[in-house]
Structure 1
Amino acid sequence: MIPFNHLGWIFKFIGPAIYPPKVRESLCSFLIPLSESASVLDLGAGTGIMSEFAYACRKDLQFTAVDPAEGMLKYTAEYIQTHQGHAETLPFEENSFEAILIGEALHHFSDIETSIEEIVRVLKKEGKLFIYDFDSSTFMGKLICRVEKILGEPGNFFTPGVLEEILKSHGFSVAISQYGWRYTIDAQLKPS
């Protein structure tokens, strides 16, 4: 298993370089319709890189980060409220967040189905979900997946189409943007 609890300083330093400018632009576009001072959850946040990129677009938002590794969370910016925890058992009330961000973390979640159920539970009505991850149908995606599994990680990588179907089954509308071997998903809970 990757010792994330001891690698926060490395991820804080190299993490921003992993996010291409086009992904950051997609994130900014995703944030535009959120209400003023909206609550945003950075799930599997690590050192809070997604929140930092989001903050650069919308300084008015209220950021919360959740990650199982306390050693990662201690490197988050001061404007981010942190909680140690797992995607499968989020420590929040129902309807707590207007948006959830997941950057290069979904593949680390142990139980994808339970994690998505928790996401739906804590999202507000018609809440939004932004996911950035590696496409498991590409050479680089397959390579990263294989390395992570060798290192003892769950390696729950998906092709964008498969993840789209999973999210649709949980009541989301989904838009996919492909960036070579990486992709983003901009999803929104449909009105019930």
Structure 2
Amino acid sequence: MMPFNNLGFVFKHFGSIIYSKPILEDLCIFLHGFTDKESVLDIGAGTGVMSEFAYRCNNTLKYVAVDPAEGMLKYAPEYLETHIGTAEALPFKDSSFDAVFMGESLHHFNDIDAALSEVVRVLKDGGRLFIYDFDRGTFLGKSVCFMERVFGEPANFYEPAVLKEVLESYGFSVSIKKHGWRYTVSASL
């Protein structure tokens, strides 16, 4: 396994490089229409890079992050409420959030079914989900997947069409935008 607990400094200063302009635009579009009465959960947040980008799009929301690596969360911005935990056992009550983010984190989850069940549990009725990840159907996506496996990570990468089917089986309505070897998912219950 990658020693994420010891990599917070690296991710804080270099993690944002992987977020291209189209991905950030998709995130801002996803957040359009949310109000200050709503809250979002960043699962597998690491240092909170995705929440930082989201905050630039809409700074009126309540931002909450969960990650198993305390060493990552200690680099999160002050406005981000942080919790130690895993996607498979979220430390929140049912129907707690209006939206959930997963930025480059889905492929790290050990049990995708348990994680998605937890997402559905903590989302309010009509809640929304935003995912950004790498497309394993591309050369660069396969390369990232290979490297993750070398480091002992679960490497649960999906081709976009397959992830769409998985999310639909959980009751989500799904829209996917491809960006070369990466993609975003905007889904709602």
Q: TM-score, normalised by structure 1?
A: 0.97
SS at match of 1:65: strand
Q: CA deviation at 1:33?
A: 2.4
What is residue 30 of structure 1 aligned with on the other side?
30
Q: What does the per-residue CA deviation read over 1:120-147, in whole Å, with 9 as the maximum and x for residues that have no partner?
A: 0000001000000000000000010011
Counterpart Cα distance in 1 of 2:37 and 2:69: 27
Following superposition of structure 1 onto structure 2, how do residues 132-171 of structure 1 map, counting pairs within 5 Å? 132-171=132-171
Q: CA deviation at 1:35?
A: 3.0
Contact kept, 8 Å, 2:98 with 2:124, in 1: the verdict is yes
Consecutive unaligned residues of structure 1, counting only runs of 5 or more, are none
Q: What does the per-residue CA deviation read over 1:72-128, in whole Å, with 9 as the maximum and x for residues that have no partner?
A: 000000000000000000000000000000000000000000100000000000100
Runs of 4+ in 1 over 6 A off after TM superposition: none
Contact kept, 8 Å, 2:40 with 2:100, in 1: the verdict is yes
Q: TM-score, normalised by structure 2?
A: 0.99
Aligned: 1:186 with 2:174: no
- CA-atom RMSD, angstroms? 0.6
What is residue 63 of structure 2 aligned with on the other side?
63
Counterpart Cα distance in 1 of 2:97 and 2:17: 27
- AA aligned to 2:177 is S
Counterpart Cα distance in 2 of 1:27 and 1:87: 20
SS at match of 1:63: strand
Counterpart Cα distance in 1 of 2:31 and 2:92: 21
- AA aligned to 1:181 is W
Alignment identity in percent?
A: 57
Number of residue pairs matched?
Answer: 189
